Amino acid sequence: MSLTEARFHDLVDATQQTLEDVFDESDLDIDLESSAGVLTVKFENGSQLIFSRQEPLRQLWLAAVSGGFHFDYDEESERWMCDKSEEQLGEMLERIVKQQAGVELEFEGL
C-alpha cells in the first residue's frame, strides 16, 4: 500500500529531525542546512550528504560520495529501505559516515 502524501511528509520530517539530532549530538565539525525539504550535511573535509524527499515517488533520496541511493518506507519494519540493496537507511549511514568522515555514529531507529 502506498503512503499518503501527509504520512510521507510526516515520516520524512521525523527522519530528517532524527538525522539532525544525531549529527548535532556528535563531536563532528559539520554544517547542517535544511531548506525546502532538503537536508545537507557538510563535513569538515568538504564532503557532503544530501537528503531529499521525492514526493511523486514517495521516496527519500540520499546523495553521498559513494553514490545516490533511493529509499522506500517499509511499514512492516518501520524503516527506510534502499530500493536496490534493501539495506536500512541507518545501517547504510553508519557505513557512509565512517567512509566520508572517518568516525562511527549510530543511527538507531532509522
Per-residue pLDDT reduced to its tens digit, 13-47:
999 999 999 999 998 899 999 998 899 999 999 99
Residue percentage of the chain with pLDDT more than 90: 90
Note the pLDDT of residue 100. Answer: 95
The answer on pLDDT for 1 being more than 90 is: no
The separation between CA 60 and the C-alpha centre of its own chain, rounded to angstroms, equals: 7
Cell numbers for 17, please give them: 529531525
Name which of 105, 110, 103 is nearest 87 in CA terms: 110
- The pLDDT confidence band at residue 78, using thresholds 50, 70 and 90, is very high
How confident is the model over 34-62, as a mean pLDDT? 96
Question: What is the pTM for the complete model shown?
Answer: 0.93
Residue 42: DSSP 8-state:
E
Compute the distance between CA of residue 18 and CA of residue 30 in angstroms, rounded to an integer. 16
